[in-house]
Amino acid sequence: MDKNAGHLNQGGMIDDEKTARIILEDFRSGKLRKNQFGGTVKLEFIERKKEAEEVNMLSPLVWAYIGDGIYETFIRVNLVNGSNAKPHKLHIESIQHVKAKAQADILKKLQDSLSEKEQEIVRRGRNVQNHHVAKNANVADYAMSTAFEALIGYLYLTKQDERLKEILELSWKLSNN
């Protein structure tokens, strides 16, 4: 541990004021949450360094790049949590959730529940010039899936974790109907 970051004493208690301030700041910012034992758990193990203003300046394709990974991981974890299937079967099932057509359908169903800012993110993601040719999707579905992934990536990068969780959970429900 960095000697300037403070430390815990032998009883597991915070030993200096600087450490206490850092922990309180992390708790207030949402980086720490209380667990069921009354202690705190650091949630952010992959540090998101960019501020919202910087994220707004990124290409929607960058948002979609991150959103693709976040959504794929979310789907995989949900499949593993709900099944004891072998990896090949999990992979086949995950494809049904993450393919462009499925994401486009989800986004169409979500549209009315999105804020104006989220609809703007979706519009920018849908309209971005993407020179990639979709392998198994039509152009419209591919554009909508890019928009969906851009929204997920934007929410993740701007640390809107509660809203991201809401949209991911609603997406899971919609993709299982």
Output the CA–CA distances (angstroms, integers) from residue 121 to 68, 150, 155, 177, in the order listed. 15, 7, 10, 26
20, pLDDT greater than 90: no
pLDDT tens-digit series, residues 111-165: 999 999 999 999 999 999 887 767 888 989 999 999 999 999 999 999 999 999 9
Residue 1 confidence (pLDDT): 39
Per DSSP, helices labelled H in 31-138 are: 52-57, 60-81, 87-98, 100-110, 116-127
Tell me the domains of the chain and their CATH numbers. 3-42 (no CATH), 52-175 (1.10.1520.10)
Instruction: Please provide the average confidence, as pLDDT, over all residues in the chain.
Output: 84
Choose, from 68, 112, 141, 161, the residue flagged as catalytic: 68
* Cα dihedral across residues 166, 167, 169, 173: positive or negative: positive
Concerning whether 16 is annotated as a catalytic residue, the answer is no
Chain position carrying tokens 């486009």: 104
